[in-house]
Amino acid sequence: MESKTIVMISFTIMILLSFSYPSLATENDEDKPLLNSDDEFDAVMAISPSESDYNRNMLESQPQTFFDYLDRCSEKMGPESVKCGTEVRAEILRNKDASRDCCRMIVKAGKECHMQWMKLFFQTYQLKRFSSKRILKSNEIWNRCSTEISSVSPSSSD
């Protein structure tokens, strides 16, 4: 087995054991449990937002000016901006390159627009754990698209 697989299995077992035996989940070296009882655990879980609640709260916390900016960006991209957004998500999640047409729309809207859409995308519950890679992945997409579009001569673009 790969060492990465072994580490992941060990980590998973450790997590499962800490759930099974709350006494294993201790704070520092003082052997003080992180949660004092099952009731406290239930209370913590009760106040944790669901995936949809998290996303709704995140969207509601954004200023209206942010959404106005994103609307203007979408208008610059054109009527196919939703399809392009789907392609960009596929590139991020499945390493499936966005089409040349999508790249053309991204470049047309501009880098700042692309970066703001990526910021919003990586704030969702499903992807927030990858937010540390947001700038890197967003720049990779931008660089690939801008290079691809700038390398196409105007006569061969359509």
In whole angstroms, how large is the CA radius of gyration of the chain? 22
Tens digits of per-residue pLDDT, 56-96?
888 899 999 999 999 998 898 888 888 998 898 888 878 88
Q: Which residue has the higher pLDDT, 5 or 153?
A: 5
pLDDT of residue 14: 64
Residue 142, H or E segment: helix 134-150
Tens digits of per-residue pLDDT, 122-152?
888 888 887 787 788 889 999 999 999 887 6
Pick from 124, 144, 126: nearest CA to 136: 144
Instruction: Record the tokens describing residue 84, joined without a space.
Output: 């392009």
pTM: 0.62
Task: Note whether 70 and 120 are within 8 A (CB).
Answer: yes
Residue 1's Cβ-count burial label (10 Å; 0-12, 13-18, 19+) is exposed
Q: Residue 80 contacts by C-beta under 8 Å, 6 or more apart in sequence?
A: 101, 102, 105
